[in-house]
Amino acid sequence: MITVHDVSMNFGGQVLFENVNVTFNQGNRYGLTGPNGAGKTTFMRILEGELEPMSGQVRRPKRMGVLKQDHTVYDDVRIIDVVMMGHDALWKALSEKEVLLAKGDLSNDEGMRLAELEMVIAEEEGYTAESEAEMLLVGLGIPTDVHTETLSVLQGGDKVRVLLAQALFGKPDALLLDEPTNSLDIASIRWLEGFLEDFKGALIVISHDRHFVNAVCDKIADIDYQTIIVYNGNYDDMVHAKAESRGSLEQDNVAKQRKIEQLQEFVQRFRAGSRASQVKSREKQIEREKQALTDLKRSNIQRPFIRFEQERKSGRQVIDLRNVSKTFDDTPICHEFNLTVMRGDRVALVGANGIGKTTMLRMLMEEVKPDDGTIEWGHETHIGYMPQDHGEHIEKSDQSAHKWLWSHNSKTDEQNVRALFGRLLFTKEEPMKPTKVLSGGETVRLLLARLMLIKPNVLLLDEPTNHLDLESIRSLTDALAKYEGTCIFVTHDRNMVSRVATRVIEMSKDGIREITPEQFDDGQFLSSHATYQGAAW
């Protein structure tokens, strides 16, 4: 159990939350939600004890698992050991035992200490620690043949998986996970969902993956109106309950305000007449009604307005791949692959990390040439491309966001460009910010503004949900589902695949195949390298 009492926090002049009182109970799984900048990570750091609040206090359990953000400190440590370091008391006992055993001949005191350490290790289930750590690593896609190598042998995304295993290791009383699905492929996310559903402690998770939050969480702690409100159910349940509650409060306030106006009208009419006692009674009633008005603080949740239009339609056949083969850095991407995409198709490319999805998009963009075969674009195709590496399109410089977007404009005027910024939640002065200071979310919204401005009839999108909050992802998903052009996109967001895709192409080490959206929803894909089988929490 984690108990938060009267916690307040400001960031600069902005009040993030004040006088928060909330309890995170054992056995419940909480999604911590709110838009970018609402203070989710700040609140998580306060729960962890890494950051002191401006006021208030937090009571924590003995053992908490926390997803670390900096993996460089473990680069020289064996992967299996990095995981076991998640249980601090056990790791210290194992390390001290190893030092004592290396001495050989032990004194009586050292022998006694060794016996004490053995008791600690037994109590903390240390004799099954390696097998538990291995199970976590395999489930998260880290093969057994590297478990005894140092963390430095892994790439960035796989290092994050190891740190996630570290947080999950050792049956903590509470788990704090900030964006645990980042760098995870769909199969690993499914495995993690199964694992967390069996967790018996208090789970608090921040995630921009709506499907993941809905699948894992049974309560939502929402940061809004400068406080934290806990709702029962998953994210979709919270959105519905929140809208209903807000609507009810607004209606009550309207009714109260109307009554106040009627009372004020009576007071104005009869103030100078013979009904002084009635006027005085109405004035007291007005004060009571004003006090009863609910102080409706403004919500900080905003949804961008995203809509993709076509300047003109493409021909019926958009792109044709014939016998395409490609190997990249000794990794086979495809072999004699054939694919025809027609106008209006919305094609999702799915598969494990590193399998070649980005390379496939780059071949379609003709940035990378196939080793064999042909790729032929159809008549009147106009492509809008959004890379996973945003720096490919937006150089971090002193150039303003407005000037960058204007450089892609050939048809509209200043007023429409300004309106476009507004629809994508840039405030009045923000378009003048240099691109080098834009946040991740602002950069993605600027790239989306470009696609809305140039009006392509083909969209090629590589992980477009990166850095977006849940409401922005929801808006983007709706926009793609309504897009009348052709779209080929790479994403790990299953909700987006389910809502948008009319076709699903799965890439795996066993080859490439097309599956139906229904098969995808049922989890019938080759890249499901591991299935969660339960754990003895």
> 3-class secondary structure for 402-429?
HHHHHCCCCCCCHHHHHHHHHHCCCCCC
- Look at strands 227-232 and 55-59 and give their pairing: unpaired
Distance CA 508, CA 247 (A): 47
Please give the helix or strand (H or E) that residue 488 lies within, else none: strand 486-490
pLDDT of residue 76: 92
pLDDT of the residue at 535: 41
The radius of gyration of the chain from alpha carbons, rounded to an integer in Å, stands at 28
For residues 331 and 367, give the distance between their C-alpha atoms in angstroms, rounded to a whole number. Answer: 18
Fold match between domain 2-238 and domain 317-521 = yes
**Low-confidence residues of the chain, pLDDT below 70?**
245-253, 273-274, 291-301, 524-537
Q: What is the pLDDT of residues 172-211, one digit of tens each?
A: 899 999 888 877 778 788 888 888 888 889 999 998 888 8
| Residue extents of the structural domains in the chain | 2-238, 239-292, 317-521
Angle between helices 414-423 and 440-454 (to 10 degrees): 130
| Phi/psi of residue 395, nearest 5 degrees | -75, 135
Strands (E), 25-138: 29-33, 55-59, 64-66
Q: How far, in Å, are 159, 247, 489 from residue 156 at the CA level?
A: 5, 45, 23
Give the pLDDT confidence score for residue 536 in this predicted structure: 36
Given 1.10.3730.10, 3.30.9.10, 3.40.50.300, 3.90.700.10, which CATH number is that of 2-238? 3.40.50.300
| CATH tag, 317-521 | 3.40.50.300
Quote the distance between the C-alpha of residue 412 and its chain's center: 34
Counting beta carbons within 10 angstroms of the beta carbon of residue 514, is it exposed (0 to 12), middle (13 to 18) or buried (19 or more)? exposed
